[in-house]
Structure 1
Amino acid sequence: MIPGLARGPRRTAHAQAIVTGAGSGIGRALALELARRGGRVVCADIDEASAKETVGLIEARGGEAIAVVCDVAQLAEVEHLAAEAAAWHGGAPDLVCNNAGIGAGGKLVGDVAFADWQRTLGVNLWGVIHGCHVFAPRLREAGRGGIINVASAAGFTAAPRMGPYNVSKAGVLSLSETLAAEFAGTDVGVTVLCPTFVRTGIFGGELIDAKAADLAARLAKVAGFSADRVARMTLDAHDAGRLYVVPQLDARALWHAKRHLPTTYTRAAGLLGRFAPALEGEKR
């Protein structure tokens, strides 16, 4: 166990955890924070080297972790992840963080290559669907545990020039709400994270237009939260039984504007989109 663990009756303390996209960004921050809280963490990532690097950081601090290579867009690989985790944990996980994802943005619907739609939805949406499909029955059978899905404020803000990303994150938000309803009255908790800008490397993704990536990176540098801060807030919210985590003030303002003034909000977003490629997201 890593020194400095805060004691208390918390769901995220001493968890047998799985984190996808654990090689960097929010995923790495979640893995490190779970280990700091006494958890044993399966660090899954499509990039083996980065997953092992996260494991090394955990072990250097006295924690326990293993790396598993996993492309969440492939159901068979998520099933393999579940088998590897069960063998190492000795049973069902306590907490599954479906975090893996990629950034995409900068082009209008119709100009976005269809392959980019497929890739974005394959990782960001189907990756989370695969995680929930594989692990929800295991948690249901165990009768306890939790699922944290990483979405984005993009899932409800619907900013221009972010069609594939917006759609993928809206799907994750809806799936999380559905799961929460299905697990209501049980000891399985569901939380969905919806940040705006987080200071990570997502803006260098291959599916983000260069101008949009530069704008987003500059905004994140000025107004973004650190991945560590977002990870702590998310795990604390899960402990408190909260469904939604909307960490930043701008995300919460947009949430309320969209819900209470949907037509006005959409018109304003459209006007903004005419002057600059709009991009919001977070590192997976």
Structure 2
Amino acid sequence: MSYFVTGATGFIGRHLVEELVDHREGEIFVLVRAGSLGRIQTLLRRWGSDRVVPVVGDLSSPGLGVDPDWVAEHAGSIEHFFHLAAIYDMTADDATNEAMNVGGTRHALELAEELGAGCFHQVSSVAAAGEYAGRFTEDMFAEGQHLPSPYHRTKYESERIVREEAEVPWRVYRPAIVVGHSETGAMDKVDGPYYFFPLMKLMRDSLPGWLPLVGVDLGDTNVVPVDYVAKAMDHLAHVPDLDGQAFHLVNPEPQPVVEMINAFCGAAGAPRFATPVDRRYAAPLALVPRRLRPLTVLNSLLKNPGVQSALDLVTSRFGVPAEVLGHTSFTAVFDSRATEKALAGSGIGVPDLESYARTLWGYWEEYLDDSVGRDADARATLKDKYVVITGASSGIGQVTALKVAQAGGIPVLVARGKDKLEETRADIELRGGKALVYPCDLSDLEAIDALCEQLTADLPSVDFVVNNAGRSIRRSLKLSHDRFHDFERTMQLNYFGAIRLVIGLIPAMRASGGGHVVNVSSIGVQTNPPRFSAYIASKAALDAWSNVVSSELIGEGITFTGIHMPLVRTPMIAPTKIYDKFPTISPAQAADLLIKAMVDRPHEINTMLGNAGAIAHTVAPKLAFRVLNMAYHVFPDSAAAKGATAEGGARESEQIMLARVFKGVHW
């Protein structure tokens, strides 16, 4: 059994190929433009299978432009032909939609018929239902529905071509709005609800999370994660006797738009919206003709070209195309009973959005938020500059590398694990950037010396050094009497390793006319929370060293920034389970601070709470230590610190209260 897949480098296509590799046998031929052969090689390495074979062709050519000799050789051997290559974009123009969605489908069907494919699997969309009002079942298609945009029209037309013109068996799949992977958050572009994420980010950064905002009922929407879509398609394609049917890959329970927005606002830490009038209590609206209802009138206005042009002047500043606003909700309710019946017993289902909203938000914030790339100052500062980043295989360092590359810089990735560094480099290269990988154990001083020699020899300049790699230990002194190595380990990596790297790279910075060093320190240096004596002492030592040598090197153009970082949600804090319920900042928020440090080059970046803690220790040290002692008794030692399997203490409400009052402090 062999497969042919168009759109394999696209979002849904990549995940479908992964499902086929993991669960099916036989060769998987994937259509690739000649100019995309480099990109497919990266994906081939990720799929890790020699059964995936690129076939050069083009969606815009008859028969997809595949070599006739190849077609003759493989005729009769392709059991499943999946056609996913298309435009999935409400903002695309009419000509592009027509060429890709309609012309591409016709050409794919031509090739499938030449190959004598066992079944042609067309990936359509619920957009084919247009503005149908009411329940739209899977056996419905031509219902006289209004198709309000080029996207809707071409999705309908491409499905019609398959239904009416296919000479091979066919199946149609109609996904709802497809969002990222429910487990990894992986997404390849801004679409659907992602258009509103920059606005949510602005709300998070500008308003307190507890502030209630007034919203309005915007109707219902329907979103599904890409892993559900890929798994469902793979399963449905292999269930016998389903040819000639369409399948709604949707959430059986549509989500109110406001609930969806609030799920993402909650994940972002932004304020949520409350609707003062619940739809359950708005029964009189049912007596009003649909075309005169407030939501219908609002959507009609939003689809008006003149209104869109006026709105676009405002909404485009937040990355929201005005034409998207009129398509935030569905007039149809998509019945998926046939799909659910065919999936019964497979274990494949749509997860609740609340369960993976934070995962989607985190991925967008780390990989898709292009605010750094659009920032003129960031691009002017970082373009073509070499930025050495330690701890670049995960967390803050990894996200910083992605943002540096987005601004045109060249991140030099340093960490102990080469495989993870290579994954980060692949992510950067897939987005058109460039990165260099230098594995190094930064607790080994001789290895650091060798790294500095290599970097000096390989790089034309060393423009920035980001000391991000670090080790944190949370353990009280009473549990540390026989663990002096805790203090040695933190000093070795956080202090000696960091300054050894900087000292080794100073000649290269001096030779290129200067450079900037960013040290990721801790809010604990200002607030002195209990149980972190080993960790905070090492960070304080790095601060003190940097403060002294700054006066010696500033005349040579070499400067330092110390960031007293609040608590960040990274793998480093995972062993301390009480942190799971604490307010933290995300790795992307921390990376934004590092970018700010490189662009503005301040001597320090602090939080208001950190500054307040430093002032308290100066003005009223005895009171400050009394408060910290209270916290010492409220927060227990972690299970890891005790060598136990569970954390002690039953004062969770007090812990959470203190954590929220002193947001960002390491307890």
**Match for residue 78 of structure 1?**
448
Distance 2:620 2:389 in 1: 36
* Matching residue within 610, 615, 625 for 1:256: 615
- Check the 8 A contact 2:428/2:435 in 1, yes or no: yes
- 1:33 to 2:403 alignment: yes
1:11-90 pair list within 5 angstroms: 11-90=381-460
Question: Which letter does structure 2 place at the counterpart of 1:250?
Answer: L
Q: How far has the Cα of 1:236 moved from its partner?
A: 1.5
* Matching residue within 227, 232, 237 for 2:592: 232
Q: How far has the Cα of 1:271 moved from its partner?
A: 2.3
> What TM-score do the two structures reach when normalised by structure 2?
0.38
SS at match of 2:375: coil
SS at match of 2:443: coil
1:175-186 pair list within 5 angstroms: 175-186=545-556
**Match for residue 5 of structure 2?**
none
- Check the 8 A contact 1:150/1:192 in 2, yes or no: yes
**Match for residue 207 of structure 1?**
none
* Matching residue within 574, 577, 583 for 1:214: 577
Question: Which letter does structure 2 place at the counterpart of 1:132?
Answer: V
Unaligned runs of 5+ in 2: 1-367, 639-664
**Greater RCO (Cα-Cα under 8 Å, separation 6 or more):** 1
Structure 1 residue ranges (4+ consecutive) displaced by more than 6 angstroms after TM superposition: none
Distance 2:621 2:595 in 1: 30
Q: How far has the Cα of 1:5 moved from its partner?
A: 4.5
* 1:74-96 Cα deviation digits (max 9, x unpaired): 22212222233334422x30011
Distance 2:637 2:545 in 1: 25
Residue identity (%)? 26
**Match for residue 106 of structure 1?**
475
Q: How far has the Cα of 1:34 moved from its partner?
A: 1.1
- Check the 8 A contact 2:401/2:413 in 1, yes or no: yes
Question: Which letter does structure 1 place at the counterpart of 2:423?
Answer: E
* 1:97-122 Cα deviation digits (max 9, x unpaired): 11111121132256251122211211
Distance 2:381 2:548 in 1: 21
Question: Which letter does structure 1 place at the counterpart of 2:473?
Answer: A
1:153-164 pair list within 5 angstroms: 153-164=523-534
- Check the 8 A contact 1:73/1:130 in 2, yes or no: no
Distance 1:11 1:139 in 2: 16
* Matching residue within 617, 620, 625 for 1:266: 625
SS at match of 1:193: strand
The verdict on how the C-alpha distance between 1:217 and 1:170 changes in structure 2, with shifts beyond 3 A counting, is farther
Q: How far has the Cα of 1:63 moved from its partner?
A: 0.9
Distance 1:260 1:51 in 2: 45
- Check the 8 A contact 2:515/2:559 in 1, yes or no: yes
- 1:93 to 2:456 alignment: no
Q: How far has the Cα of 1:10 moved from its partner?
A: 4.4
Distance 2:596 2:385 in 1: 13
> What TM-score do the two structures reach when normalised by structure 1?
0.85
Distance 2:400 2:426 in 1: 15
Question: Which letter does structure 2 place at the counterpart of 1:259?
Answer: T
- 1:276 to 2:635 alignment: yes
Unaligned runs of 5+ in 1: 205-209
- Check the 8 A contact 2:429/2:435 in 1, yes or no: yes
Distance 1:218 1:167 in 2: 26
- Check the 8 A contact 2:414/2:438 in 1, yes or no: yes
Distance 2:394 2:490 in 1: 18
1:155-174 pair list within 5 angstroms: 155-174=525-544
- Check the 8 A contact 1:11/1:145 in 2, yes or no: no
The verdict on how the C-alpha distance between 1:237 and 1:41 changes in structure 2, with shifts beyond 3 A counting, is closer
* Matching residue within 117, 129, 144 for 2:514: 144
* 1:38-66 Cα deviation digits (max 9, x unpaired): 11111000111221121112111111112
- Check the 8 A contact 1:35/1:64 in 2, yes or no: yes
* Matching residue within 375, 381, 392 for 1:6: 375
Distance 2:438 2:385 in 1: 18
The verdict on how the C-alpha distance between 1:124 and 1:7 changes in structure 2, with shifts beyond 3 A counting, is same
Distance 2:493 2:455 in 1: 20
Distance 1:10 1:175 in 2: 30
- Check the 8 A contact 2:466/2:518 in 1, yes or no: yes
Distance 2:547 2:601 in 1: 13
**Match for residue 126 of structure 1?**
496
Question: Which letter does structure 2 place at the counterpart of 1:228?
Answer: A
The verdict on how the C-alpha distance between 1:182 and 1:10 changes in structure 2, with shifts beyond 3 A counting, is farther
- Check the 8 A contact 1:42/1:85 in 2, yes or no: no
Aligned residues: 268
- Check the 8 A contact 2:518/2:597 in 1, yes or no: no
Larger Rg: 2
Which stretch of the first structure deviates more once superposed, 27-36 or 134-143? 134-143
**Match for residue 334 of structure 2?**
none
Distance 1:5 1:144 in 2: 26
Q: How far has the Cα of 1:140 moved from its partner?
A: 2.9
Distance 1:106 1:216 in 2: 15
The verdict on how the C-alpha distance between 1:11 and 1:260 changes in structure 2, with shifts beyond 3 A counting, is farther
Q: How far has the Cα of 1:21 moved from its partner?
A: 0.6
Question: Which letter does structure 2 place at the counterpart of 1:270?
Answer: N
Q: How far has the Cα of 1:241 moved from its partner?
A: 2.5
